[in-house]
A and B are shown apart, each in its own frame.
Chain A
Amino acid sequence: MAEERRGSWFGFGFCGFGQALGSGRGRQVHSPEPLQTPGEGADVCRVSASWSYTAFVTRGGRLELSGSAGCAAGGCRDAWASEALLVVLRAGPGRGAGTELQAWAPGSALSGEPLWAHTVGPEAEGEDAPGGEPQAGALPLLPGGRAYVSPRPPFYSPLAPELRARRLELGAEHALLLDEAGQVFSWGQGRHGQLGHGTLEAELEPRPLEALQGVPMAEVAAGGWHSVCVSETGDIYIWGWNDSGQLALPSRSLAEVGKAAAGEASGLKEDGCDVRTAEGESGGLAPFIAIQPFPALLDLPPGTDAVKASCGSRHTAVVTRTGELYTWGWGKYGQLGHKDTSSLDRPRRVEYFVDKRLQVRAVSCGPWNTYVYAVEKAEG
């Protein structure tokens, strides 16, 4: 019955364009820092980060951009940032006037005319979760789930109504969809196994993941070339490219970097041990996996249930029911938040939040950085 405290946002990773990420000093932040959220008393409920800028939307409907693009605008319910396009869901003028979907060039500061605009029906209003907690943004899925936006042509794509889309996420060359029943669909390029159908072939239309049928999913997240979903019971399924360990499976390139570092440190010449295999947790030899073309169940520490997931280009972040944050994958810009720039092919808890007695509630990854919403642990 503890009182729910207002939380705040933290950020870490790449900020080479000066995007708000903690102190914003330098080009990278390796450990979580509180965000200097723009404006005073701003209540950021949505964060959408592109590579060179980040979009913040407050509960009051204020949109702020930080980084290579900078501006502030009102009347925004949701925003979705990409390098080519900033998509904004704006309340129409007057009550009951519905919402307008606008696409802007990021540098336009939302002045002048949008690149294009589309009126959206007034259905599916009021998406905020109880307690005013930030929800994962609905964009690029449009309210009503009948269509979605994309930074590549065609910019606006309808979805078959029978799909009953609840969430949609876009990777570099694929799309993931979660429907009302908890079924996951994927389509697009499949060369990195990111579609999860067991092949490397492309799919033109949304195709259900047979391997996951019967397991209702609560969340989906798309990285550059990998896919994650979280079941209602807190299990994580993951598939796609593992070149940087983003699937938390043994990655050859990480092992080679580790070997090189170890070799230098100890001064020993590299032994003739088989480079092809990796030490498994139990000491057995596990093969390296470059591509996982169908879903694999991920092992978090026993007893941890996942509730949220978000992916960057080549890293993954997961929030647990007990308010912990785990990250893994590409770490070169500090986007894993473990105070260094190592990449990981195993989940590791971000200790900052434990040390500060913070409960993580939401996570939103940009391509090379990570934004986290956390509340102070309730007393007593």
Chain B
Amino acid sequence: MAEGDREPLARAGTLREALRALLPPTKEELTLQLGERVERSVVRLLREAVELFCGGRGGECLQASEAILDYSWEKLNTGPWRDVHRDWRRVYAFGCLLKAVCLCEEPGDAGAVAAALRVCDMGLLMGAAILGDILTKVAAVLQAHLPSGKRPAPGPAQEQPHEKKARHDRVWIPDVRSERTVPRLRCPSLQHFRKHFLVPGRPVILEGVADQWPCMKKWSLEYIQDVAGCRTVPVEVGSRYTDEEWSQTLMTVNEFISKYIRDEPRDVGYLAQHQLFDQIPELKRDISIPDYCCLGDGDEEEITINAWFGPQGTVSPLHQDPQQNFLVQVTGRKYIRLYSPQESEALYPHDTHLLHNTSQVDVENPDLEKFPKFAEAPFLSCILSPGEILFIPVKYWHYVRALDLSFSVSFWWS
């Protein structure tokens, strides 16, 4: 309770100062360079909001920021996500910035700081970087100013995955000895990897490459909650994304852990395919980029790093991705099956545009009447364990099921 010793007002005062210190010094610099796509009325409203903020009219600035957020949110939901113009995402982020700072201007309750942090996270999730990635910095300041009571007391230390009480009586662990397994190599040279696996597009498990990364020792539930507990993240709810019942929602990491990992979860929740390490740079220090990525064409900045964190039983249906993938296992084990792109016909991809990279077949319970060719399709499989990296070549079909509470990190590169 050491942090609670200071007067609430004094603490709010330092928060306000810390936030103001992050903002550009002049009103003129608190602005965005926007292209033609953003309508004049929006530009005008942005200017007005900044005027109100600099004029100390926080309440009115909040109103204007809400309108900015609501309008740009509509643009973010118009058309396919990849076609959303970056400027709209920047406007959205700017709205989040103003709203978050305004929420903290008054010496308000602790709820205001948590609300402001949530707004920042929305800006990080849906917006685009503005003003030198200011939202990341604001989020870090807000996180540091959350009253210590906001961080839940960690549960009794039992973070080893196999000591965790199994949620289901039985987890089906496939007998991979009866299946063709993915070859394993210990620290192959760059040339060897390129010649025998990257170029011909063959999967392989790399051992001894990631096993010394800090995450392997550090990432317990307790640690994750400590570093990221109050941050808002996207969670997928439902057995698999091809189900009708499947949905995506937002919640804090603490809420995710208590609802979908700790407390006898009723549904499957999966913190999946989320660029957590852009949102929370502190976690990024616990991982590295596999050297083998330099064999690709792209820059290091173009590598997409995703977190995959969920309870035993999460399933990613059989699908293919348009980039090379290094899947690094940090905590827990995953059963993974791999089918070559040459077998695509036997995997019966959906014919809709949205799901054309996803197979219709339920890999571990296939309907062979409906999908007869699937039975004969050759595959490789493995149980990926902590410290190991699975190389999934571009367009290689893969199916993943978590056998334990699991945390994986994937690197998509070209």
Contact = CB atoms under 8 A, between A and B. Distances in A.
Interface of A: 14, 16-17, 27, 51-53, 68, 83-84, 106-107, 172-173, 189, 191, 199-202, 224-225, 290, 313, 332, 367-368
A202 B45 CA distance: 33
A165 to B, nearest CB: 24
Given A173-B79, A200-B354, A290-B247, A83 B74 contact: no
A68 B353 contact: no
B302 interface: no
Contact of B79 (A189, A199, A200): A189
Contacts of A368: 70
B177 interface: no
Top 4 nearest A-B pairs by Cβ distance? Answer: A52-B41, A83-B39, A68-B41, A172-B78
B275 to A, nearest CB: 22
Given A16-B64, A27-B67, A83 B78 contact: no
Nearest to B60: A27
Contact of A84 (B39, B63, B67): B39
Nearest to B66: A332
A320 to B, nearest CB: 29
Given A225-B77, A332-B70, 14 more contacts: A16-B63, A27-B67, A51-B41, A53-B41, A68-B44, A83-B41, A83-B42, A172-B77, A172-B78, A173-B78, A189-B80, A199-B352, A200-B354, A224-B78
B93 to A, nearest CB: 20
Interface string B35-61: 000011110110000000000000000
A17 to B, nearest CB: 7
Nearest to A314: B74
B41 A17 contact: yes
A362 to B, nearest CB: 25
Interface string B251-268: 000000000000000000
Nearest to A191: B80
B371 interface: no
Nearest to B237: A276
Contacts of B79: 173, 189
Contacts of A225: 77
A313 B70 CA distance: 11
A310 to B, nearest CB: 18
Given A16-B64, A27-B63, A201 B41 contact: no
12 contacts: A14-B67, A17-B41, A27-B63, A52-B45, A83-B39, A172-B74, A173-B78, A173-B79, A200-B352, A224-B74, A224-B78, A225-B77
Contacts of A313: 74
B45 to A, nearest CB: 7
B71 interface: yes
Chain A interface, >50% SS class: loop
Nearest to B37: A84
A200 B350 CA distance: 13
Nearest to A17: B41
Nearest to B78: A172
Contacts of B74: 172, 224, 313, 367
Nearest to B244: A287
Contacts, number: 49
A53 B44 CA distance: 13
B353 A201 contact: yes
Contacts of B42: 83
B260 to A, nearest CB: 13
A25 to B, nearest CB: 13
A304 B42 CA distance: 40
Nearest to A84: B39
A173 B155 CA distance: 48
Contacts of A172: 74, 77-78
A171 to B, nearest CB: 9
Contacts of B39: 52, 83-84
B43 to A, nearest CB: 10
Nearest to A290: B247
Nearest to A253: B249
A290 B247 CA distance: 9
B352 A16 contact: no
B378 to A, nearest CB: 33
B91 to A, nearest CB: 13
Interface string B71-94: 100100111100000000000000
A202 B79 CA distance: 10
B72 to A, nearest CB: 11
Contacts of A27: 63, 67
Contacts of A83: 39, 41-42
A27 B42 CA distance: 15
Contacts of A199: 352
Contacts of B354: 191, 200-201
A300 to B, nearest CB: 28
A84 B63 CA distance: 23
- Interface centre among A51, A106, A224, by most chain B C-beta atoms within 10 angstroms, is A51
A16 B40 contact: no
Identify which of B39, B64, B80, B352 gathers the most chain A CB atoms within 10 Å of its CB. B39
Contacts of B71: 51
Given A173-B78, A173-B79, A107 B67 contact: no
Given A16-B45, A224-B74, A313-B74, A201 B67 contact: no
A27 B71 CA distance: 14
A201 B350 CA distance: 13
Contact of A107 (B40, B80, B247): B40
A74 B353 CA distance: 48
Contacts of A106: 40-41
Contacts of A68: 40-41, 44
B202 to A, nearest CB: 35
Nearest to A330: B70
A368 to B, nearest CB: 8
Contacts of B41: 17, 51-53, 68, 83, 106
A110 to B, nearest CB: 16
Contacts of B353: 201-202
B311 to A, nearest CB: 18
A339 B42 CA distance: 27
Nearest to B44: A68
A54 to B, nearest CB: 12
Contacts of B77: 172, 225
B171 to A, nearest CB: 25
Interface string B352-385: 1110000000000000000000000000000000
Nearest to A243: B77
Contact of A16 (B67, B80, B247): B67
Nearest to B352: A201
A52 B63 CA distance: 15
Contacts of B45: 16-17, 52
Nearest to B351: A201
Contacts of A202: 353
A27 B78 CA distance: 25
A77 to B, nearest CB: 25
A38 to B, nearest CB: 19
Nearest to A52: B41
Nearest to B249: A252
